[in-house]
Structure 1
Amino acid sequence: MEHAYDFSIGARRLKNVHPSAIRKVLERATILKNEGNPVIFLSIGEPDFDTPEDIKSATIQALTDNFTHYTSNRGYPGLRKTLQHYIKNETGVDYDPDSEIILTSGGAEGLNNTILSFVDPDDDVIVLTPSFVNYKSLVNMCEAHFVDVPLKDFRLDIEAIQAAITSKTKMLIINNPNNPSGVVFTREELAAICKLARENNFLILSDEMYSQLVYGDSVFYSIANFPDMKERTILVSGFSKTFAMTGWRVGYIAAPKHLADVIMRTHQYSTTSGTTFIQVGLSKSMESKNTKQAVDLMVKTFSKRRDLIVKELSKIPELTYSKPDGAFYLLVNVSKLRLSGDEFAKVLLEEKYVATVPAKAFGDAYVDYIRISYATSEDNIIEGVHRISELVQEIKR
């Protein structure tokens, strides 16, 4: 029997799953750099700090002590116990380390496992955009409906969210602090989201990867802390940003037992368990005095860089932006130049060797924007914005 399969197409569920625009920019920028061009990377969301010394030393010791065998599917018990205190201190919510915390291979696996565990074909998933690129692809992979609800002047549009809710709404995804805008949502905004979730019976996936990276007078609030919300909230976070551990691939999920048990059915068939000696090392070092000091220094440095890039961009009247309160990104509107974000970012990279990300990747409403990451040195920020200014002046001529 002959089958007319075109295997290069892949599974039907991948039809609307496309390569990451962030990685596409990174690959092209890396090629240009390897060709000898002076590329400045204002695109990738990766701290330019080294992992704190205590974490490295404790992990090396754990490896030397032969913690090289399988650990629990849920992750090393000692790290889950440490995370219980860490999460409670940060969010005010207590999670049972034995049944309500799952260690994952980075925050990306946490998102993947959560969405795949609960979202069925034809479900509606509301995503507040601009949003991290993974959300849309994962929802599409489930053959569900990605319901794009843009922010309004970079704040939550509660009326638009309410209008988007249907009988098929299964989940709402929120990223706070927000990648790519740097917005930190207020307690009042989050309370309104919680009210809708309770009234309409949907889950909230709260991506809190940048919760420690908050500046000025802004305050981070976890949705799980609001009344009756722990039971319908799945918190996803990790160590990549706060602890400068992007290459270590350690994340976590915190959820009530009845939801965590469902996620475990996906998790145990994806990575089985994370790297044991890394988890052992983290359990012994993530809350050490030296580690806390290193994290505090990094946050203060990002705050200074935030102020610097805002100061430099303010010298270019043709560009507008919203001052970020958290994470290490901001969105810049280039529409006064009569170019789309895609067009501007491409010329900026190819002619001025500055890598940024076209913001359409984060939501269709942001076609006029580019995303800039200020997770880089002050010298790179100053030179990068200088080159942006040069390009703006050349376009105007």
Structure 2
Amino acid sequence: MTAEHRMKKEIQNMYLSPIRDISFRASQLASRGLPVVSFGAGDTVFDTPEPVKQAAVKAITENRSHYETIQGNSVLRQKIAARYRRNYGLGYEEDEILITAAGTESIFDAFLALISPGDEVIVVSPAFINYENCIILAGGKTVFAPVRESDGFEPDADMIESLITAKTRMLVINNPCNPTGAVFSEECVKRLADLAVKYDLLVFSDEVYDGIIYDGFPYTPIASLPGMKERTIIANSFSKLLAMTGWRIGYLAACGGIMESLFKVHHYSTACQPTFIQDALAETIDLPEVDDALKRMLRIMDKNRNRVTQWLKTHSRLSAVEPKGAFYYFIRVSDCNMSGRTFASRLLEEKYVAVIPGEGLGKDFSDYIRLSYAVDEETLEEGLSRIDCFLDEIVR
């Protein structure tokens, strides 16, 4: 029997991340001493706020290295619930919060717990590729609902309704969105909520960028609308908001029987997250110093966003919608007479600048690349300058 025959059908149908492929190629070039500029990975140049680091060290020295409760640190869950009450008027209780290994585990737990073989799941696309792969693992079928640049990358509720069948179990949204940077208007979110209620759908709402929004644009969590809290699973993380991607810590918010199901999968996957990390966050997430660090990070990213916006105006062959949230620009490159994959590959090999091809985030987006601007000013300017040279050379 071959190795392939021993694999589950679902595992055979999964695929590895093209984002990781670009990152691997970029790291190979850098290991050879080449000056790679990375606009690729969904990480930031910023450091975890100092109070969080100091609290973690303190917890380690106090031997807070044994098992935490499976659901997570009680004080941390209380503070997360308080954040949702304070910011969005959402009345989550402590036992409706589950601490996870960041957004990645949250997706895994939710899809394995709530999707059965044969269920259809509508995913607003382009999207984080973990959604589709975890749906495959659960035995479900992914039905993509692609957004349009002409609509500001907002979901089209009429299109989504046309995709709903008797087998549709869940709608998956990412708001604010990776990779488009869209923040859905209140009217858009209301229309999606109306569909969920009308067709009795669960909604998985990935909100890991909910603290990274520009120009005071209003943000409406779908769970805050009538009839939605009881059918919504919120996934959030400290990875982006507090520059903690390597710490692997996040959470799920849900109520009733949904949380019971999530708890079971979590129980048998990671059991609990590192105690000293949870202690550190419980002690610091509401400190003014941490809030100040977040505000400083947002000011820098907003400055970078504005810089890329002005830079794009100098290139008629590039098209994009200015992001309202997150830290990505989703740029159409089809007027350069090449696909996003070719553009990204050539840019990396010829100018040592890493960006992500759009087709890796949605099969309908082969004309796009994703550019992350969560970098320092010097890196941003150097990378944009190299792309300038690349664009000049491809039209000669």
What is the TM-score when the length of structure 1 is the normalising length?
0.97
Q: Does residue 121 of structure 1 match 2:117?
A: yes
One-letter amino acid of the counterpart of residue 186, structure 1: S
User: What is the rounded CA distance, in whole Å, between the counterparts of 1:375 and 1:214 in structure 2?
Assistant: 13
Helix, strand or coil: the match of 1:44? Answer: coil
Partner of 2:13: helix, strand, or coil? coil
Q: Which one of 69, 76, 80 corresponds to residue 77 of structure 2?
A: 80
Residue matched to 1:332: 331
C-alpha separation between the residues in 2 aligned to 1:9 and 1:310? 50
Distance 1:8 1:73 in 2: 36
TM-fit CA distance, 1:5: 4.3
Contact 1:308-1:378 within 8 A present in 2 as well: no
The offset of 1:364, in angstroms, is 1.2
Give 2:131's match in structure 1, choosing from 117, 126, 135: 135
What residue is the counterpart of 1:396 in the other structure?
A: 395
User: Which residues in structure 2 correspond to 1:1-397 (within 5 Å)?
Assistant: 4-7=1-4, 10-97=7-94, 99-152=95-148, 153=150, 154-397=153-396
Residues 106-150 of structure 1: CA deviation (Å, up to 9, x unaligned): 111011100110111111100001111111111111221110101
Taking the aligned partners of 1:383 and 1:328, their CA distance within structure 2 comes to 18
Alpha-carbon separation, structure 2, partners of 1:127 and 1:9? 30
* Structure 2: gaps (5+ residues): none
TM-score w.r.t. length of structure 2: 0.97
Q: 1:143 to 1:314 in 2, by over 3 A?
A: same
Q: 2 CA distance for matches of 1:120 and 1:15? A: 18
* SS at 1:15 equivalent: helix
Which of structure 1's runs of 4+ aligned residues deviate more than 6 A?
Answer: none
In structure 2, C-alpha distance between the alignment counterparts of 1:8 and 1:28, rounded to whole Å: 30
Q: CA deviation at 1:217?
A: 3.7
Deviation digits for residues 348-367 of structure 1 (CA, Å, limit 9, x no counterpart): 00000000000101111110
Aligned to 2:268, the other structure's residue is in SS state coil
Q: Is the 8 Å Cα contact of residues 321 and 332 (structure 1) preserved in structure 2? A: yes
Report how many aligned residue pairs link the two structures: 393
1:301 aligned partner, one-letter code: I
2:126 touches 2:362 (CA, 8 Å); kept in 1? Answer: yes
CA contact under 8 A between 2:4 and 2:12: conserved in structure 1? no
- How far apart are 1:47 and its partner, in Å? 1.4
1:309 and 1:382 in contact (8 A); partners too: no
Q: Percent identity?
A: 37
Q: Give the superposition deviation at 1:296.
A: 1.0
- Give distance in 2, aligned partners of 1:130 and 1:322: 14
Shift in Å, 1:6 = 2.8
